[in-house]
């Protein structure tokens, strides 16, 4: 079932509080969540659990996904321009046709990730043979 924008907003607020060590906060656990087409522009999802999440066609422009677990996530067609994916776990993730222009992938785990058709740098497309 697709998560509503209101539900997602509540989780993001709670996660921000958790990152700030506020007692009412909770780490974002979006494992298996259907976030297809969601607008997560500039969202701070540091250390969030997005295992097997559906983020197809989501807008993650400028999102902070440092240390996030995106194992097996579906990011087909997602926009990750200027996203920070430092030390994120993208093992087995599907990034087909994703836009990763100017994304920071330093230390990211990309084992078995599918990057077919992904744009990594302006004009650079990954072609799988």
CATH of the domain at 62: 2.160.20.80
Structurally, the chain folds into a number of domains equal to 1
Residue 126's pLDDT is 62
In a domain, 110, yes or no: yes
Domain residue limits at 79: 1-12+27-129
Residue 127's pLDDT is 62
Show the tokens assigned to 27: 């780490």
Predicted confidence (pLDDT) per residue in 103-112, tens digit:
999 999 999 9
In a domain, 47, yes or no: yes
DSSP string over 35-102? -TT-B-TT-B-TT-B-TT-B-TT-B-TT-B-TT-B-TT-B-TT-B-TT-B-TT-B-TT-B-TT-B-TT
Low-confidence ranges of the chain (pLDDT < 70): 122-129
Residue 96's pLDDT is 97
In a domain, 59, yes or no: yes
Residue 124's pLDDT is 59
């Amino acid at each position: 079932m697709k998560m509503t924008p209101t539900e997602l907003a509540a989780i993001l607020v709670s996660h921000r509080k958790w990152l700030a060590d506020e007692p009412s906060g909770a780490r974002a656990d979006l494992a298996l969540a259907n976030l297809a087409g969601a607008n997560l522009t500039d969202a701070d999802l540091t250390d969030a659990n997005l295992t097997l999440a559906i983020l197809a066609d989501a807008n993650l422009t400028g999102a902070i996904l440092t240390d996030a677990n995106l194992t097996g996530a579906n990011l087909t067609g997602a926009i990750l321009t200027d996203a920070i994916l430092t030390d994120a776990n993208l093992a087995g993730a599907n990034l087909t046709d994703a836009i990763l222009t100017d994304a920071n992938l330093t230390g990211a785990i990309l084992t078995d990730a599918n990057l077919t058709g992904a744009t990594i740098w302006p004009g650079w497309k990954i072609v799988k043979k």
